[in-house]
Amino acid sequence: MKRYILSAIGIVVVLISLYGSFDSYRNSHLSTNIENGSYEKCFNDSNLKNFTYRSWSGGDKFAVRFVDSGNKACFAPKFPSIEVTSPRVTHWIHIVSTNGNAQLTGKHSSFGSNVRRWQFVDVGSQSHRDNGIPFYSVNTAFRDNPAWSVAPHVTLNWVGTVFGLSEQDGVLYPVGGLSWGFTLQQWTLEPKAIPPQVVDKEAWLAVVDDLVKEYPNYTFSRHSTRT
């Protein structure tokens, strides 16, 4: 009996050691390059994909550059990288839904009432969060190359929805939206990209009321143009 117990303990110790070793190796393999990363070099990739999508009104276009797995020059190598541009857009809102651990500090703001998954407004910087600014960026371009970690036995799902807005007389009108992201399967070393695809206006209508509540200093329209 004693020998059986010792054997069982030995197996548990080995398994814990293997678990920890895999976790450490994957974290090292997916280490970030925040200080030296460059979007310009990140998109200078032979595997770069280009897409063009129409806005909800049909009169404007979103130009998308997308890399499934970032190269060494990216901020987050191995993770997908995206750029969305539109001459009509003045502000970008990026809402992320994930089953990963909530980050209560940094650049993210919790959002909505989704209890099954953590949903947050990716506000671009700690300064934006501290000052109640909901925008990821304020210009004609949205760029992101996120890194995320999770325990090895958990499959991580990370989906972002980016909305391009056009400010007119202090009102933010939605121009269009795209979803994208990645999945990191349990016991695998690298994430698998979720390619960008158009979301319909219902996606905006599903979040705009929460945006109004969370950010009362801004006026968000439910309509794509003035009515």
Tell which residue, 129, 96, 135, has the closest CA to residue 218: 135
CA-to-CA dists, residue 207 to 92, 146, 213, 220, angstroms = 14, 22, 10, 10
Q: In whole angstroms, what is the distance from residue 163 CA to residue 93 CA?
A: 5
pLDDT of residue 220: 98
Angle among Cα 17, 77, 119 to the nearest 5 degrees reads 80
For 181, left (φ over 0), alpha (ψ -120 to 50), or beta? left
Q: In whole angstroms, what is the distance from residue 177 CA to residue 56 CA?
A: 8
CA-to-CA dists, residue 164 to 9, 33, 138, angstroms = 56, 27, 10
Name the more confident of 111 and 136. Answer: 136
Q: What does pLDDT average to over the chain?
A: 90
Residues 6+ apart with CB under 8 A from 4: none
pLDDT of residue 106: 60
Among 13-27, 29-43, 171-185, the least confident range? 13-27
pLDDT digits (tens, 9 = 90+) for 168-214: 999 999 999 999 999 999 999 999 999 999 999 999 999 999 999 99
Residue 112 confidence (pLDDT) above 70 = no
3-class secondary-structure state, position 73: coil
Residue 114 confidence (pLDDT) above 60 = no
Tell which residue, 195, 165, 194, has the closest CA to residue 86: 165
DSSP count for the chain of H helices, then E strands? 5, 11
pLDDT digits (tens, 9 = 90+) for 133-178: 999 999 999 999 999 888 999 999 999 999 999 999 999 999 999 9
pLDDT tier for residue 115 given thresholds of 50, 70 and 90: low
pLDDT digits (tens, 9 = 90+) for 49-74: 999 999 998 888 999 999 999 999 99
pLDDT of residue 225: 66
pLDDT tier for residue 11 given thresholds of 50, 70 and 90: confident
| Helix H or strand E encompassing 66 | strand 61-67
Residue 227 confidence (pLDDT) above 50 = no
What one-letter code names the amino acid at 27?
Answer: N
Return the sign of the alpha-carbon dihedral for residues 5, 9, 10, 14.
positive
